[in-house]
Amino acid sequence: MADMEDYAYDYDYLLKIVLIGDSGVGKSNLLSRFTRNGFNLDSKSTIGVEFATKTLEVDGKKLKAQIWDTAGQERYRAITSAYYRGAMGALIVYDITKPETYENVSKWLKELKDHADDNLVVELVGNKSDLEHLRGVPTEEAKHFAAENQLLFTETSALNADNVDLSFEQVAKAIYNMVKKNQLDLSDYSGAKPPTGQTISLTPTPGAESNKHKSNCC
């Protein structure tokens, strides 16, 4: 019974969002803060890829965010491609106490350009805002850079949860708005073309009938 929701479509749209940025900036902790409201002081560096989901409400619609967290050091282009394939949003995270992680943001932007969809919503996230006394990256500078590159921007703290929800919600909203704007285009995607269906990043709500049908199949 408890697993019923596993099989039920309790959302209107499914969005794939990727977390990128240098190792140690706090990606995994942002994810766990957002999806499980947890924080881990000595989190191990991520191996491979981790997934988590959270459902948000925007304009009365339920958006299910499927967030991919990687180590960000994948040496294989094919795997990197797999990570970005179908992603509709990306959070480029840096550590406000470590300017070098901020400097690498352009490297990450380039990677997105190489591998991801052009319509991708990107947000620049300066994490560890709780460490104000150690700050190495001025807010204004980052804000400016974001504006120049048409990126969303927030400073967060996975540790004390400041702006964490906001940063994800902001990305989700932007995606939703973009999708609404391109409603027509979307219908092209919605046809679902497995087994190659790797381009599917947004799935419309299936009807109630087919829902029941699914449960039976599993």
Rule CB under 5 A: which residues touch Mg ion?
Answer: 27-28, 46
Comparing CB distances to ligand GDP, the nearer of 26 and 89 is 26
Helix axes 183-190, 164-181, angle to 10 degrees: 90
How far is residue 94's CA from residue 108's CA, in Å, rounded to a whole number? Answer: 10
Name which position in 23, 73, 177, 187 contacts ligand GDP (CB under 6 A). 23
- Reduce the DSSP state of residue 153 to 3 states and report it: strand
List the beta bridge partners of residue 54.
Answer: 65
Q: Which does 148 bind (CB under 5 to 8 A by kind): another protein, Mg ion, ligand GDP, none?
A: none
Residue 135 beta carbon to ligand GDP: minimum distance, rounded to whole angstroms:
12
Residue 70 beta carbon to Mg ion: minimum distance, rounded to whole angstroms:
8
How far is residue 192's CA from residue 190's CA, in Å, rounded to a whole number? Answer: 5
Tokens of 114: 């190489």
Q: Which does 7 bind (CB under 5 to 8 A by kind): Mg ion, ligand GDP, another protein, none?
A: another protein
Phi first, then psi, for residue 216 (nearest 5°) are -60, -40
Name which position in 9, 11, 18, 28 contacts ligand GDP (CB under 6 A). 28
| Block residue for tokens 């929701």 | 5
Comparing CB distances to ligand GDP, the nearer of 41 and 78 is 41
DSSP 204: P
Number of residues engaging ligand GDP in binding (CB under 6 A)? 20
Count how many residues are written for the chain. Answer: 218
Helix axes 164-181, 27-36, angle to 10 degrees: 80
**What residues from 104 to 163 belong to the interface with ligand GDP (CB under 6 A)?**
127-128, 130-131, 157-159
Residue 58 beta carbon to ligand GDP: minimum distance, rounded to whole angstroms:
25
Q: Could you tell me if 203 and 13 are in contact, meaning their C-beta atoms sit under 8 angstroms apart?
A: yes
Phi first, then psi, for residue 123 (nearest 5°) are -125, 135
Residue 25 beta carbon to ligand GDP: minimum distance, rounded to whole angstroms:
5
Comparing CB distances to ligand GDP, the nearer of 101 and 201 is 101
Residue 37 beta carbon to Mg ion: minimum distance, rounded to whole angstroms:
17
Comparing CB distances to another protein, the nearer of 35 and 149 is 35
How far is residue 21's CA from residue 106's CA, in Å, rounded to a whole number? Answer: 10
Residue 1 beta carbon to ligand GDP: minimum distance, rounded to whole angstroms:
34
Contact residues toward ligand GDP (CB under 6 A) are 23-29, 40-43, 45-46, 127-128, 130-131, 157-159
